Amino acid sequence: MDERRQRAVALRRQGKYLKEIAAALGISVASASAYCRGVQPKGTHPITERKRELARTLEQLYQGGMPIPEIANVTGIPAPTLFDWRRQFGIKRNSRSCYVTDAMRSHLAEAQTRDKDGSLRAEAKRLYIEDMKTTPEIATLLGFSAVTIGDWLKAAGVELRKSPTPETREKLRFANLGPKRYNWKGGITPERVRQRQSLLMKLAREACFKRDSYCCRICGTEGARLNAHHVWPFQRFPEQRYMVSNLITLCKVCHDTFHKAAGGHVRVAIGPFFASRD
């Protein structure tokens, strides 16, 4: 490594270009540049104190976001010379983002947007909140991407849903129904089980738990395994199966204890369960 570095420095002092040094030593141009850092080729003017001061000015202006052509207009030094100085003094190259000002971003956004008056954003917000549409559905209706719709809703202060809508859940259910399901066995599930596992029952159960703050109405336990108990039994009163008002939240222990004391799962439950919760 030291021998290659010495040979690269010697070739550089002879006036060879970095490409020529890389070809002669069998290394990359980047390696040749690293070996010859700080070594000026033959015929290069020595670095004077004035040049160092100008280089410091160049570095300050350049890192402050001013492009080299503009620095050339300010200092009166040709832009190609400034580019050479930037490489010679090892000034880190700026990324493109530093040249993009807030005014430029605002101008580009205004010039390229298809929603200059904000009506599409308002419509997207209405569809999401009132019509319960998903961002992909809104994107299809308005002709934008779902990512854009999501950005609009976030900018408007709308909290995005973390769970799918009932319509989406119904679509997912139908997409995995019957023979489409990996573990389908020809439709042997009893009708009463299908009814208890239906989407309507799941939604009613979730609403019941939320209303009761996920606490057992008998013992007040939180975080336990919860059941949605039917006040008017599921089998005997089909018209009230999916009514949230007919459900109360019980932990599994209290639920099992109640049905054991009541004599089964089809007896009508009366008494304290009809009392509204404070």
More confident residue, 34 or 42: 34
Please give the backbone phi and psi of residue 47, each rounded to the nearest 5 degrees, phi first: -80, 115
Tell me the β-bridge partners of 227.
Answer: 250
Q: What is the mean pLDDT of residues 109-132?
A: 85
- pLDDT for res 278: 41
Q: Which residue carries 């040749």 as its tokens?
A: 32
Percentage of residues of the chain with pLDDT beyond 90: 17
CA-to-CA distance for 252 and 212, rounded, in angstroms?
A: 15
Query: What's the mean per-residue pLDDT of the chain?
Result: 83
The region of weakest confidence among 38-47, 164-173, 237-246 is: 38-47
CA-to-CA distance for 240 and 231, rounded, in angstroms?
A: 9
The region of weakest confidence among 123-132, 150-159, 192-201 is: 192-201
Question: Would you say residue 109 has pLDDT above 80?
Answer: no
Q: Where exactly are the structural domains of the chain? A: 2-35, 49-94, 100-162, 191-274
- Which range of 80-94, 189-203, 233-247 scores highest in mean pLDDT? It is 233-247
pTM greater than 0.75:
no
What confidence category does residue 88 fall into, taking pLDDT thresholds of 50, 70 and 90?
confident
Among residues 275, 277, 226, 274, the alpha carbon closest in space to that of 251 is found at 226
- pLDDT for res 150: 92
